[in-house]
Amino acid sequence: MVTRKFDVQHNDSNFDLDYDTNDGFEVFQFQLFSLTSVPPDHQKIYVAEHDTPVATDSDLTTISDKLRLISIDEHQPEPESSNADLLKSDEELARLLQAEEEALMLQQYMASENTQEFESRVRPYVSQVLMYDDARRQEAARKTVPVEELEEKALVSLAKEGNFKPSKIERDHAFLLQLLFWFKQSFRWVDSPSCYDCGNKTTRQGMAAPLPSETLYGASRVEVFGCTLCSKQTRFPRYNDPAKLLETRKGRCGEWANCFTLYCRAFGYESRLILDFTDHVWTECFSQFLGRWMHLDPCEGIYDKPLLYEKGWNKKLNYVIAIANDGVYDVTKRYTRKWHEVVSRRAMITEPSLSSLLKNITKEIRRGFASQQLSVLETRDTEENQQIERSLHSNDDESLSLPGRRSGDEEWRKSRLEIGSDKHLSSSSCPTRLCIDEHVTKIYNAFRPVISRFVEEELTKSEAVEVLGIIKGIILNLSNSPFKTRKTPIDSVLNNPKCQKLLPSFDDLLDALSLEKKVNTDGAVEICLASDPVVTSLALPVALDALDDIIYNLNKFENYGKDSLALPLLKLNRIHSGSVVASAEELPFGIVTSAFDGIQKSKWEEPNGARGCWVVYKTFDNKMFELVAYELMSANDAPERDPMDWILEGSNDDGISWHVLDKQTSQSFEDRFQRKTYTIELASFPSNLFRFRFLAVRDVQSTSRLQIGSIDLYAKTM
């Protein structure tokens, strides 16, 4: 370990920073952030004497101890070296173009003019994709999908971004993503099938000729596996008919992409089957929302990350071909930023011959299309080619970390060199996100009249828990009913004198859930929707989790009374509707706002946060709050990722200076979904910015990640 002391100049201030050279450049940036409030992705660091940029670990070991920090938000003049950097970028582009030209010249001598081998790889898929337009297959596919459930999830996902009135294009885009996530959970990956006789593991023994019942569904290949226990053989036909795959719901990437592309077509999305000649298959859909073709990998549950294979899996791509019902397209350039290297591997056919072949096949497919349709397709083809060419030499976000392959047995992935350096999709940068969580605060506040009434009526703890259990049952019934017409009868509650007397105290909760009591024409009373069903869908999971938490806390009390009407039993004056940014987040399910949505199952996950990371919360409309307490909740799994040491700070001058509000060390969460409440003991400090600096997780040796189920901030009552 080598410790260096740096003097960092920022604006008109100087900061002393002690840096352990074993920690790495990213930790150095976090240390700078804690001192200067300049987020790592906004930092530009230079050697003070001669404006040499500092960007790597090795830079920090060789430079002087005087540095200068500039925030890209401060609009300060760039140092002279930035022009040199721009020139270097131009030189790099020229070098790449030269390498491409040389690779194309070499290809003329290596590649064949004979199109037969290439065509034999593509032709079978041309007839396969036509199956996706078969009305019988589409209807069969739609019948297997919980459409209303996915529609609800799509609308809730948009609502969590503040979009409660989405357009049809936005709804269609969100539904497609939910279809992808559902398919990922409903289809099964098969490395080796279980023994059909005894259910034990099998090992591969070879191939067998397909039976007539198997060829009926396009199974030209059949793998044979032997049971490790009973020695019986198990056949694994590789079906190509997506209608059969709707039944089996299992396979590898070929079956996954084949079946998922059928689902996309069944719901009206323009879709393509994507054939990667280095042995993978996935899907593309045209997104009206994005105005372009979007990559979707059903095996991985990942979307719109076309560099996944080259950057994450370390694939050495050569040909990536899109096959659709309106043509065949070479889309390789969409999936690479190393075209000069890819060209050197495209030795099967010359580029002119490939272009001519694909044009001829596309012309065949489009034979019989109306002239207007052809005109639309040709215009879109031109636009797509222009988009691909523009993106080919674009500067990618180097902070984006794409995962290695996750589908398939680990040893198999390793043998293919597709394991990558990380097992999760993550991004080391995080945009500022809005917290759409006013409903969470309303729900928490709505339990005050309920618990207060319990105290007034002198209910015993068991009686209070019983009433809350009945209310939870009602909310569960509502959660399980169709989201557009939610309702449930409550006659059984009204017939219970104790519950009937207490029912008015739940009116605030019903309002927070956008629900109301309604008397039917027959006199029956039911709970039903009061307004927007999406608001209710967003709020119901929060209410269920809040009820569980109240019941848990009530059970911990030996006696409860007026003194109990505070944290952790009641969670009053929770700060909401602010914006939040973090050092990093996990995409797509571990984003930072997941820590503020009031739902147990969601979480914020920081891929590189085990040894240091941060979250900054900015209040709505810059309103000042005096913090009196906060709560953290452990996430659903992986206790080693729980935060252990952290500092909470507040600022009222846009983050120029920070005031320590609380500091915790050696904290431990014994259970999953466990909430821990921390009271601010220091003198009040009105703030509109709050920053958590998480310094270490429970076991930094076994993980690089930090995760938190929820973060709740509670303000002093004004």
Active-site residues, by number, are 253, 280, 297
The closest of 3, 19, 1 to 67, measured between CA atoms, is 19
CA distance 655 to 619: 13
d(CA 423, CA 408): 12
Q: What is the strand order of the sheet 3-10 is part of?
A: 13-20, 3-10, 66-71, 43-47
Environment class of 424 (CB within 10 Å of its CB; exposed 0-12, middle 13-18, buried 19+):
middle
What are the phi and psi torsion angles at 458 (to 5°)?
55, 45
SS3 668: coil
Q: Are 554 and 461 in contact (CB under 8 A)?
A: yes
Rounded Cα gap, residues 41 and 214, in angstroms: 55
Burial of 580 (0-12, 13-18, 19+ CB in 10 A): buried
588 prior amide bond cis, ω within 30: yes
The per-residue b/e assignment along 81-114, b for 16 or more CB within 10 angstroms, e otherwise, is eeeeeeeeeeeeeeebeebbeebbeebeeebeee
Burial profile 316-350: b = 16 or more Cβ within 10 angstroms, e = fewer: ebbbbbbbbbbbbbbbbbbbbbbbbbbbbbbebbb
Q: Quote the tokens at residue 192.
A: 């080796």
Beta strands at 487-489 and 525-529: parallel, antiparallel or unpaired = antiparallel
DSSP summary character for residue 638: -
